[in-house]
Structure 1
Amino acid sequence: MHRDVTEMNRNKNVEDFQMRDELISTLKNRFTTYGYKQVRTSTFEHYDMYSNIIGTVNKDDMIKVIDTTGKVLVLRPDVTIPITRITAANHNSNPFNQRLFYVLDVFRQSVELPNQKESTQAGVEFFGENTPEVDSEVIMLAIHTLEDMGFENFKIEIGHAGFFKELIQQAALSKQELELLQTLIQSKNLAEIELLLENMPIENDLKMAIQSIPMLYGEPASVIQQAEKIVRSDKMQRILHNLIDVYEVLKDYGADDYVVFNLGLINNMNYYTGVIFQGFVDRFGQPVLMGGRYDNLGEQFEAEMPAIGFAFEVDYLLQAIQQQGLAEPDSQTVDIIIYYMKEKQKEALTTAYELRRQNYQVLTFSKESSSMKPLPSRTIVNYDEEQNVLINKDGKHNFSDTKDILSLLKDTKGDL
């Protein structure tokens, strides 16, 4: 499905690009209303920055190039890491909470998806505070943005990176066993999980707790009640209380209908430390957004800097919008078309200039031009040899100059 999504929405025609542009405008507008400022990072980054970070993108997935000095660079495989680096570098001079957003391409390759190396992400990063109020506000921004796009049936699945990590530490699994277990939990393959754990030297209570992780999904109060039964440390108890606190704030936002808990949620980015979440829309099998808290990432750039963020996959959003019929048909109608005789070219072009200054979309055609063809338009302006006529939904109107046209557009309610 991933491959189909990206291939379908890579701007095959002008209309696709316009739809994409409008979607990005919607995202940027909503991010701005929550106080976020747009930033960008370099398309090319030093390979060492990513290779030295714990829990980042798989090194084999990075697209590498060598510059003229022999340095190994990568095409940006992730946005959170370079933004964190930049914020950490300026942390001492600007220690206050920072709200940043971006719309940038990321580049990765994989054996499973050889044709898909580029995707667009639109995301936010909040630096400087770790509270349930901040977590819930960031999640609420994701909810608000999905509402802006017209989605009615969607869910934000909320989990916690620490819950599974704390539990699994008690099992002392090898790296290979842990990776397999994570894959099975993500696919909720209960039979294989039981088979994997069966012959491991793990006490039965811990085995049962691990096996129950994929089932800790659904209505928050119910999930918390089930999770309480497998809590095996004070830290796991604190994690549950943190999730409860976040959910209580989301209820005050009136967003509880959009929220489910999923303690089996495991993100591939291992730098996440706290609340993690992903968003699904109805009848679309891939998450359209993913995010979470990553309080320790700043420390790898020598700055203590709590942070939380998320990113929308723009290509996924576009397909979901098209699939659900939420995209308005692209209007091919022009605001104003001016047709003119050669003798009145100066008048016509002067009028076109003035109308464009007034933010109308205007096309001009000489009546002697062989390229002239009828186009749908809300208003037609004819500069004929004997008279000047404006035609719109309210009828035909004679005019003498540009001022008359502007007056007619206003008087006949034809302004757009």
Structure 2
Amino acid sequence: MFLPAGSRDLTGRQLVNRVTIYEKFQSVVNLRNYQAIETPIVEYSTTFTNPYAGMTLKKMLKWFDEEGEIEVLRPDWTIAVARALANQQSDQQKWAYAGSVFKKDHAGVESHQAGIEIIRTPGLYGEFESLFTAARFLTELGVQQYSIELGHTEIFETFISSLELDELTASQIRQAMHDKRKDEVYRLVNEAGNEESAEAVAELTDAFGGTAILDKFAQMWGNNPKLLLVVQELQKLAASLEELGQDVIVDLGRVKQLPYYNGAMFRGFLAESGAECFSGGRYDELYEQFGGKMSAVGLAFDMDVLAAALPAPQKQERICLLTDEQGLIAAEALRYKYPDAVVDVRTETTAETYDRVYQVVKSGEGYEVIEK
């Protein structure tokens, strides 16, 4: 009644955890030489709905400005940062951001992200740096049990590029592949192409699991230079992560959900809940819509998911100092005797639980502290 649908208030541990996570994130990216960037919370809708970005207007929070242009609350950080950096003349390659995004298809409408963007770098540097930063950040948070999934846009796209697909059929095949509906993938591709291509594409729905899958498909695609190169790229990324002690899974049938991805894709999943805590990949083509042409790789952390999963902090001693209005100054001075404790000064008793309770009472010219 008092808030629009999807809006919510936050209190307590979830909010405290999110603040802690932001502080850890800033510490990690600062030490890795990322520069902070912030984009406006209000943007023109066309920044996100053009063919390069491919987002859907109906899922955005929007309105008309006085000129009749559609404005939206920022629905995506990656696209907004690309707009800001496309013509940036700085030599800085690594950028970091943190803040809210707004989409109607997300629980709560407003979600909180922190992420990194790495531009103008050679080879696989951007992918390595993104994944290494993610691993370091999660370690700093105390999140130990998680898996990193690797995929690549060019596998699925290579198989269906030879088919003459209308937009609807392409969308249906992509969704069926995303949902791992093997029979539906086979049916749709067979109707649009032939049995051989249908079998090859349908096989991708089962091409997920441990890194041994990469060796299997490297042999299968040995005579296809394009696909073999993709597998070798994923093998390099997987080997580097495993050397750092990370659990790696592979999904060769993963499809891109937004058109701007054009290379390696990665996601992080928490072991306990299975929740996706980060996602990202390569999107060189995204910058072309803003007149830029450069390599770009990055990922975004879901701060709400991480806040819910953050280990409980070490229990601090809780102390209550009971006094009257005249004793508040004396009680305030006593805080410094307990620098590592949570000290609550109150003028009346409460049902809250404390480890120790002291009465601060007038005694001559000063105050006396009496343990209750």
Q: Which of 43, 47, 51 lines up with 2:41 in the alignment?
A: 43
How far does residue 169 in structure 1 lie from its aligned partner after superposition? 0.4
Q: Which of 172, 175, 179 lines up with 1:183 in the alignment?
A: 175
Residue 216 of structure 1 contacts residue 227 of structure 1 at CA under 8 Å; is this kept in 2?
A: no
Aligned CA RMSD, in angstroms, stands at 3.3
Report the residue type matching 1:16 in the other structure.
Q
How far does residue 164 in structure 1 lie from its aligned partner after superposition? 1.5
Residue 150 of structure 2 contacts residue 264 of structure 2 at CA under 8 Å; is this kept in 1?
A: yes
How far does residue 134 in structure 1 lie from its aligned partner after superposition? 3.1
Residue 341 of structure 1 contacts residue 384 of structure 1 at CA under 8 Å; is this kept in 2?
A: no
Residue 11 of structure 1 contacts residue 17 of structure 1 at CA under 8 Å; is this kept in 2?
A: no
Q: 1:249-268 residue pairs with structure 2 within 5 A?
A: 249-252=240-243, 254-255=244-245, 257-268=246-257
User: Does residue 1:108 correspond to 2:103, yes or no?
Assistant: yes
Q: 1:123-134 residue pairs with structure 2 within 5 A?
A: 123-134=115-126
Structure 1 distance, partners of 2:278, 2:31, is: 19
Q: 1:197-276 residue pairs with structure 2 within 5 A?
A: 197-202=189-194, 204=196, 206-230=197-221, 233-252=224-243, 254-255=244-245, 257-276=246-265
Structure 2 distance, partners of 1:341, 1:64, is: 51
Structure 2 distance, partners of 1:102, 1:59, is: 24
The residue that corresponds to 2:318 in the other structure is 333
Structure 2 distance, partners of 1:227, 1:211, is: 18
* CA gap 1:380/1:137 in 2 versus in 1, 3 angstroms: farther
How far does residue 279 in structure 1 lie from its aligned partner after superposition? 1.2
Structure 2 distance, partners of 1:197, 1:161, is: 18
SS at match of 1:101: strand
Residue 157 of structure 1 contacts residue 259 of structure 1 at CA under 8 Å; is this kept in 2?
A: yes
User: Does residue 1:311 correspond to 2:300, yes or no?
Assistant: yes
Structure 2 distance, partners of 1:176, 1:142, is: 36
* CA gap 1:338/1:210 in 2 versus in 1, 3 angstroms: same
How far does residue 107 in structure 1 lie from its aligned partner after superposition? 1.1
SS at match of 1:311: strand
Structure 1 distance, partners of 2:330, 2:275, is: 56
Residue 62 of structure 1 contacts residue 108 of structure 1 at CA under 8 Å; is this kept in 2?
A: yes
Structure 2 distance, partners of 1:286, 1:341, is: 49
Name the count of aligned residue pairs.
365
The residue that corresponds to 1:161 in the other structure is 153
Structure 1 distance, partners of 2:30, 2:139, is: 16
How far does residue 388 in structure 1 lie from its aligned partner after superposition? 4.1
Structure 2 distance, partners of 1:316, 1:105, is: 14
How far does residue 238 in structure 1 lie from its aligned partner after superposition? 2.1
* CA gap 1:15/1:201 in 2 versus in 1, 3 angstroms: closer
* CA gap 1:359/1:148 in 2 versus in 1, 3 angstroms: closer
Q: Which has the higher contact order (CA 8 A, sep 6+)?
A: 2
User: Does residue 1:384 correspond to 2:349, yes or no?
Assistant: no
User: Does residue 1:291 correspond to 2:284, yes or no?
Assistant: no
Structure 2 distance, partners of 1:302, 1:133, is: 23
Structure 1 distance, partners of 2:110, 2:312, is: 23
* CA gap 1:380/1:62 in 2 versus in 1, 3 angstroms: same
SS at match of 1:288: strand
SS at match of 2:15: helix
Structure 2 distance, partners of 1:136, 1:60, is: 35
The residue that corresponds to 1:95 in the other structure is 91
Q: 1:39-78 residue pairs with structure 2 within 5 A?
A: 39-78=37-76
How far does residue 31 in structure 1 lie from its aligned partner after superposition? 3.0
Q: Calculate the TM-score normalised by the size of structure 1.
A: 0.76
Report the residue type matching 2:147 in the other structure.
K
Structure 2 distance, partners of 1:283, 1:45, is: 37
Residue 126 of structure 2 contacts residue 296 of structure 2 at CA under 8 Å; is this kept in 1?
A: no
How far does residue 309 in structure 1 lie from its aligned partner after superposition? 0.8
How far does residue 208 in structure 1 lie from its aligned partner after superposition? 2.2
How far does residue 210 in structure 1 lie from its aligned partner after superposition? 0.7
Report the residue type matching 1:385 in the other structure.
S
Report the residue type matching 1:102 in the other structure.
Y
Structure 2 distance, partners of 1:287, 1:293, is: 18
* CA gap 1:202/1:75 in 2 versus in 1, 3 angstroms: same
Q: 1:46-77, CA deviations, whole angstroms, 9 ceiling, x for partnerless residues?
A: 12222335133222222211223433201111
Structure 1 distance, partners of 2:39, 2:207, is: 38
Alignment gaps of 5+ in structure 2: none
Q: Which of 63, 85, 104 lines up with 2:83 in the alignment?
A: 85
SS at match of 1:89: coil
Q: 1:88-111, CA deviations, whole angstroms, 9 ceiling, x for partnerless residues?
A: 232x2x1342x222221111124x
Q: Calculate the TM-score normalised by the size of structure 2.
A: 0.84
Structure 1 distance, partners of 2:328, 2:137, is: 47
* CA gap 1:198/1:18 in 2 versus in 1, 3 angstroms: same
Structure 1 distance, partners of 2:78, 2:336, is: 44
Structure 2 distance, partners of 1:137, 1:378, is: 48
Structure 1 distance, partners of 2:370, 2:127, is: 55
Report the residue type matching 2:103 in the other structure.
R
Decide which structure has the larger Cα Rg and report it. Answer: 1
Q: 1:232-268, CA deviations, whole angstroms, 9 ceiling, x for partnerless residues?
A: 743222222222232333344x23x411221112231
How far does residue 385 in structure 1 lie from its aligned partner after superposition? 1.6
Alignment gaps of 5+ in structure 1: 1-5, 397-416
How far does residue 340 in structure 1 lie from its aligned partner after superposition? 5.6
Structure 1 distance, partners of 2:11, 2:108, is: 19
